[in-house]
Each structure stands twice: as C-alpha cells, then as structure tokens.
Chain A
Amino acid sequence: MSRPINRRRFALTAAALAAPVILPRHSLGADVKVDLVHLFSGAEHPIQKVIKAFNDKRTGVTVVSRQDGTTYETITQKAMSAIAAGRGPALMTTGWKLGDFAKKTLGAQDFRQIFGAERTEALLAKFRPQVRPLASIGGVPIGLPWSMSTPVLYVNQSLWTEAGLDPKAEPKTVQELYPMVRQLQDKTGKQGLCYEVNEWLPQAFIQNAGGDVIDGDGKPVMDSGAAVKGIEAFVQPRRDNLWRVMTIPEMVAAYQAGAIGVMASSSARQSGVRQTAKFDLRLIQMPGLAGLPRRMNSGGNFLAVYSKIKEQQDGAYKFMEFVSSKEGFEIWLATGYLNVTTNDIPVRPGNEAAHAQMEGGLTSETIWPGARGLEALTVHIDWITRIVNGAVTVPDGLRSDRQAIEKLIAA
C-alpha cells in the first residue's frame, strides 16, 4: 500500500486509462434511425415491446428507445437543451399539457407540412373524433394522440378487506371515500390514503367542484370560489391525518410495498404497479364531490415529430402507422392507457374502471399556454405543494398561484 508510485507504474496506469477512449460504436446497419424519447421505466414496459414489435418488421426503419426521465417536465427540459444544441429527438412522447409549449418553443412539426394533408388524414383517421383535437394546437395537427389515461383509485384489496370494508364498495364521492379510508387506517395501522402531488389530480378536484384551472380564453382561473372548494376537498385527508404527503416516486414505492391502503394515480401506472405488488389490487373510478356533477379529466401524451430530416420524418410516420394499428395498440394497452382508436380491442381485465370513466366523458388536461408554459406548470405545482403541506391557506395559495401564472403567460 505504501509502495511509491514510480514512473513505470504511472505510465502503465496512464496507458490503461487511455485505452478505452476508442470505443466501438453500435451499428444499426443501413436503417434509418429514429430515436424515441419517452419517460417509461423498465425493460419490461410495453413501450419496449411496441418498439421491438415494430423493429422486428424490418421496414428499413429502426426505432431507438431513449428514456430521459420519468416526468413530462424532465424529458421536455432535456429535449429543449438537445434541440437547442441541434441534437433534438426525432420523436417524443409529448405531454398533452405541454402541447402549446412543444409547438411554440420546441418546434414540434406540423404533420400536414411534413406528411401532406392526405397522409396526415390517413394517419389520424384511426383515432376517435373526440381525442383528435387534443393533439392539435391552434388547429395545427402536431401529434398522434397515442396515450390517454385518467386518474383512478388503486385499492389495496388485502388491506381493504382486512379492515372489514365491503370488498365491492365503490365510493362515488370523496365524502363517501374518506370515512372508509379512516376505517382502513384505524383497523390496519397502515396509511389510509395517498394522493399524487402534481397538477393533474388537483385539476380533477377543481373541475368536479365546477371550476377550471385555465379557462377557454387561456386565462388562469384556479382561484375561483369553486376551485377553492375543490382543493379544500383535496387537502382534507391531509388535515385529517389520513394522508401523509410524499413525492410520487415515494408514494409508488410505498404502495407497492403494501404500506398504503388507497392510492390515487393515473390508470397508466398499472403495468408497473401490477408487476411488483404482491397483494390483490382493485382499480375503481375516481370519486367526485357530493352533490356536484362529475367532470373528470384525461391526460397523457401524443407522439410529436421534432426531426427536421426527411428520412427520419418518414421513418417516424411508419412507426406511428404501426402504433395506431390494431397490433400495435393492443400491446400498448397493457400500460393501462385507454383505447382511443377505432380498433376493436376488448377492454383488458383490470382496466374496466378507467374505461367506464372514459365512457362517462372526460375533459382534456390543462394545456399550459405560451412560450414559457413549462415554467408556468412548474410554478403551479410549487403552489399546489405549498398548499398541500399547509404552508399557506387554500385561497391565499391559489391566488398567489394565479398571479404568478398570469405574469408568465404575459411574458
């Protein structure tokens, strides 16, 4: 250990360090390479299967999976840096909520311009009429409305029955849900409930109370009386000690470990949760608010093309043709996303609640307007987090939120 380092040893080490500089590059032959940036973790995720199924067809196009993060915000930020440096992705699963930002700041391509009106129509014809506008920004189609989900309740059925609750109970409102969660927590000693702290689930509460996050004219209105009422209902379980607030990754890990009774999250989280959960899992529709009409929201992503190279754009077209086909979409539905195509595919067992919720009618996800929409979204989530943690009252927090967003939209 104490031998002095002499010149010979030093030179040897140096040579050893320098050797791997020339690394062999992975070769894909003569295929057109289309990199697909996404946010889905794991080698077993259906996105890997969709990509593999497509690549196995040997169309002369190879799609390369590129996971850059786990949230739409992260992968969009990464893509922004990459696009600025001239190395943007060819395709990206772009969050609905960032559609405006994708068009204005990231330069998502207009399908009609790169594919022509006819081919664009042929591609989008596979999708149900009500979802097609979601990937159209200002009347310009910039995406394939691939993935749509909706918030649902993930019930740990083992804990639920252990607490003596009716195994078939489906609370229609949170006012029905909260006492059940109370019973579960008291009987099992496990945390009763966990909500996602983001912008999406609170939007469901605001809408079900009759409010809106951003109105039809693009004005932030998340501090209206109705919205305040919705968010009050949202934070109630935290005040009642039924919900210990945590980050989404912490929540999912805890839920999978069987430490949480009921979790509210996207139906599209199913494939991951089902894989590791070692208890009975039951999905039910997201409850609304007592005495008010249900107005649940949808969310998810569309496939947008960022490449400016003709070959890659055409490669992306071929891939999008495949994912919209019955074969491609059947694989994709394993995620827990909803069948938004006209393909006749039976509902997967376990996903009935999400489908029923869709049949009941879903609004779109809030689209954060303007060239600084991504920043606006981040600021909004910060305010929601402050409110949830009790650092500020609901009306005060939402008012400050609205004021901050107004500034960013105007900028």
Chain B
Amino acid sequence: MSMAWRRLGGSPWLFAGPAVAAALLFVWLPMAATLGLSFFDWSLLRQEATWRGLDHYRGTLANPDFHLALVNTGVYLLALLPLQVGVPLVLAFALMRVQAKATGRVYRTALFAPSVLSFPVAAVVWLWLFNPTVGFLNTLTGMAGVPPQRWLSDPDLAIWSVIVVAFWKSFGLNLLIFLAALANVPRDLVEAARIDGAGGWRRALDIELPLISPALFFAVVTTFIVVLDEIVGAVDVLTEGGPYRTSSNLLYFLYERGFRHFQFGEAAAVAVLIAAIVAGVTWAQFHFGERRVHYD
C-alpha cells in the first residue's frame, strides 16, 4: 500500500465525513428547503411553482383550525408536563425507599414496561378498552355506577382520553431517568444529613431534589418534545384528531395540510411556525431553567 493511500485511508475526514454528509443532507438541507417551500404554492401534483410570499403564514395564522391545534397543543403540554414529570418523580423517590431490592426491580420493570411500546401499539390497546359499547373501561365505570362514556367521540372527552394514553405510555421513561439520577446522589451527603437529624422529607427535598435537578431539567425538555411530536401516533390511531379536530395538535395539523390535502407550501409554513415555537420554548427553558439547575 502506498504512503499516499495510507494517509488518505487514515484521514479523519474518512471517519467523520459520512456523519457530516448525513447531517447536511438529511437535516440542514431539508430545513433550508422547508423555509424556501413555505413561500411557494407547489406540490408533487402541480408542476409549476407559484410565488406566494408570506401568504401561507398569514393564512395559517388566520386559520381557526390552526388556532384550535395551537390551543390543543397547549392543553396537551399543560396536562402532560406536570403529570409526566411529577408522577415519576414521586414514584422514583418512593422506589428508592423500598428495602427489598429484588421486589423494587420488579416494580421498576413493571412501571417502565408500557414505555417500550410504540404509540400506535399503545393506542390500539386502549382503543379496545375505550370502545363505548363493548370496551372494558365502560364496564368498569358501570361497576362504579357511572354511566357509559364516549371516550373518543365525545368532543369534551377525546383529548383527555389521548392524554391518558400518552401519559401511560411515556411516564416510565422519566422514571428511569430519575432513578438513575437518584442512584448517583452521593451516599455520604444523605448520611451526613441524617446524622444532622434531617427527617426523610427534609433529606428528599433539601438534598436529593436539588442534586437531581439536571435530570429534572432533562426530563422536562424531552417530555416537551415527546408531547409535541410523538403523540401524533396516538392521535392518529385513537381519534384522527377528531371529533372535529378537538384532539388534534400542531403536528397533526401539519400532517393534514401537507399529506392529506397536499398543500405543501402551507404545510411548510406550519413546519416553520412549529420550529419557531420549539426554538422559543427551548430557549426559555434554558434561559430560565438552567439557572435553577445545580451541576456538581
């Protein structure tokens, strides 16, 4: 093998090149293309592109269905963020206090199990439970003397049914994150506090909680993404955004504009708006969240 060939074969760019090319080709380039597309009327079905300027942005911002999707996204976030962070947090603290090790592991396994399912699988399982006439959930409410509910076709209930499924399917992930973080809290610190006479609650709130705040922060950020992006699988299988879009969210709205009705330019504008919202919220999270997070 010649020296030149060897030098080429050992070039760091041969190592890093594919990843850089993939990032450019599949993320950065499409991102720029989306921005460009949002100014045009064009789709795979119409050959000529028409310049529309900011029309798609104006149209989207004035569209009542977009408003509904925006409000619903807010509802999903306001309900799911506290649930998906708070409940696993309490469970993690409690699980650390279970003295029987093996049993604790069984609990952990059981609680995380739904999280490995995909949203559509989770949704299909619940679809069966939610069925208004033959589903088990109405049998259960019937035993409690509550009249049968239309879980997925009642416009006031549908979004909450999706929230239940999303919570059930996702809280385990945060539980795992919190457990890992709690296991990393230096034992001597907790011991010292105990010797100083701090009770169980004090130790949890004053010592452990601040020490796992980076994990908490991480959980908030990822949960935000999950709620924004991924519940689309649950929405699609459970309600298709209905009845009359009352359980839709921003991503589902984009999917409908772009891929059901083939309004690519409009959908691109929606994508840019979603990205702007995500960027804004992420910035706020870092700006306000980071300061309160303790890194050791």
Chain A contacts to B: CB under 8 angstroms:
77, 80-81, 83-85, 105, 191, 244-247, 250, 253-254, 257, 259-260, 372, 374-375, 378, 382-383, 385-386, 389, 391
Q: Is the CB of A84 within 8 A of B134?
A: no
Q: List A contacts of B133 (CB < 8 A).
A: 191, 250, 253-254, 257, 259-260
Further contacts, 20 of them, CB under 8 A, given A84-B44, A250-B131: A80-B45, A84-B262, A105-B45, A246-B153, A247-B152, A250-B152, A253-B133, A254-B131, A254-B134, A259-B133, A259-B134, A372-B261, A374-B261, A382-B244, A383-B244, A389-B154, A389-B243, A389-B244, A391-B155, A391-B244
Given known pairs A84-B43, A244-B132, A253-B131, the reply for A382 and B153 (CB within 8 Å) is: no
Q: Is the CB of A386 within 8 A of B244?
A: yes
Q: Is the CB of A375 within 8 A of B150?
A: no
Q: Is the CB of A389 within 8 A of B155?
A: yes
Tally of contact residues, B, Cβ under 8 A: 20
Q: List B contacts of A246 (CB < 8 A).
A: 132, 150, 153
A-B interface contact total, Cβ < 8 Å: 59
Q: List A contacts of B132 (CB < 8 A).
A: 244, 246, 250, 254
CA distance A389 to B152 in the complex (A): 13
Q: List A contacts of B44 (CB < 8 A).
A: 84-85
Chain B residue at minimal CB-CB distance from A105: B45
Shortest CB-to-CB span from B268 to chain A, Å, is 16
Residue B86, interface by CB 8 Å = no
Q: List B contacts of A84 (CB < 8 A).
A: 43-45, 262
Residue B218, interface by CB 8 Å = no
Residue B56, interface by CB 8 Å = no
CA distance A253 to B134 in the complex (A): 8
CA distance A144 to B132 in the complex (A): 39
Q: Is the CB of A77 within 8 A of B243?
A: no
Chain B contacts to A: CB under 8 angstroms:
43-45, 131-134, 150, 152-155, 242-245, 259-262
Q: Which 9 A-B pairs have the closest CB atoms?
A: A84-B44, A254-B133, A259-B133, A382-B244, A375-B261, A385-B244, A246-B153, A84-B45, A386-B244
Q: List A contacts of B243 (CB < 8 A).
A: 385, 389
CA distance A246 to B243 in the complex (A): 10
Q: List A contacts of B45 (CB < 8 A).
A: 80, 83-84, 105
B242 partner, pick from A253, A372, A383, A385, beta carbons under 8 A: A385
Q: Is the CB of A81 within 8 A of B259?
A: yes
Shortest CB-to-CB span from A74 to chain B, Å, is 9
CA distance A247 to B240 in the complex (A): 11
Chosen A-B contacts, 21 in total, with CB atoms closer than 8 Å, are A80-B262, A83-B45, A84-B262, A85-B44, A245-B153, A250-B132, A250-B133, A250-B153, A253-B133, A254-B133, A259-B134, A372-B261, A374-B261, A378-B261, A382-B244, A383-B244, A385-B244, A389-B154, A389-B155, A389-B243, A391-B244
Shortest CB-to-CB span from B2 to chain A, Å, is 31
Given known pairs A84-B43, A385-B243, the reply for A247 and B153 (CB within 8 Å) is: yes
Q: List A contacts of B242 (CB < 8 A).
A: 247, 385
Q: List B contacts of A191 (CB < 8 A).
A: 133
CA distance A87 to B154 in the complex (A): 38
Q: List B contacts of A383 (CB < 8 A).
A: 244
CA distance A372 to B41 in the complex (A): 14
CA distance A108 to B260 in the complex (A): 18
Chain B residue at minimal CB-CB distance from A383: B244
CA distance A136 to B132 in the complex (A): 41
A245 partner, pick from B134, B150, B259, B260, beta carbons under 8 A: B150
CA distance A245 to B244 in the complex (A): 13
CA distance A97 to B131 in the complex (A): 30
CA distance A378 to B152 in the complex (A): 19
CA distance A244 to B131 in the complex (A): 13
Q: Is the CB of B261 within 8 A of A257?
A: no
CA distance A257 to B131 in the complex (A): 12
Shortest CB-to-CB span from B118 to chain A, Å, is 18
Q: List B contacts of A253 (CB < 8 A).
A: 131, 133-134
Given known pairs A80-B45, A83-B45, A250-B131, the reply for A244 and B150 (CB within 8 Å) is: yes
Q: List A contacts of B155 (CB < 8 A).
A: 389, 391
The residue in B133, B242, B245, B262 that gathers the most chain A C-beta atoms within 10 A of its C-beta is B133
Shortest CB-to-CB span from B104 to chain A, Å, is 15
CA distance A105 to B150 in the complex (A): 37
Q: List B contacts of A389 (CB < 8 A).
A: 154-155, 243-244
CA distance A253 to B135 in the complex (A): 11
Shortest CB-to-CB span from B243 to chain A, Å, is 5
Shortest CB-to-CB span from A375 to chain B, Å, is 5
CA distance A259 to B134 in the complex (A): 9
Chain B residue at minimal CB-CB distance from A244: B150
CA distance A299 to B131 in the complex (A): 28
Given known pairs A84-B44, A84-B262, the reply for A257 and B134 (CB within 8 Å) is: yes
Q: List B contacts of A77 (CB < 8 A).
A: 259-260
CA distance A260 to B43 in the complex (A): 45
Given known pairs A80-B262, A250-B153, A391-B155, the reply for A382 and B245 (CB within 8 Å) is: yes
Shortest CB-to-CB span from B247 to chain A, Å, is 12
Q: List B contacts of A80 (CB < 8 A).
A: 45, 262
Q: List A contacts of B261 (CB < 8 A).
A: 372, 374-375, 378
Q: List A contacts of B259 (CB < 8 A).
A: 77, 81
Chain A residue at minimal CB-CB distance from B242: A385
Chain A residue at minimal CB-CB distance from B43: A84
CA distance A382 to B243 in the complex (A): 8
Chain B residue at minimal CB-CB distance from A83: B45
Q: List B contacts of A254 (CB < 8 A).
A: 131-134
CA distance A325 to B153 in the complex (A): 42
CA distance A244 to B154 in the complex (A): 10
CA distance A84 to B244 in the complex (A): 28
Q: List B contacts of A257 (CB < 8 A).
A: 133-134
Shortest CB-to-CB span from B45 to chain A, Å, is 5
CA distance A80 to B242 in the complex (A): 22
CA distance A85 to B261 in the complex (A): 15
CA distance A165 to B25 in the complex (A): 70
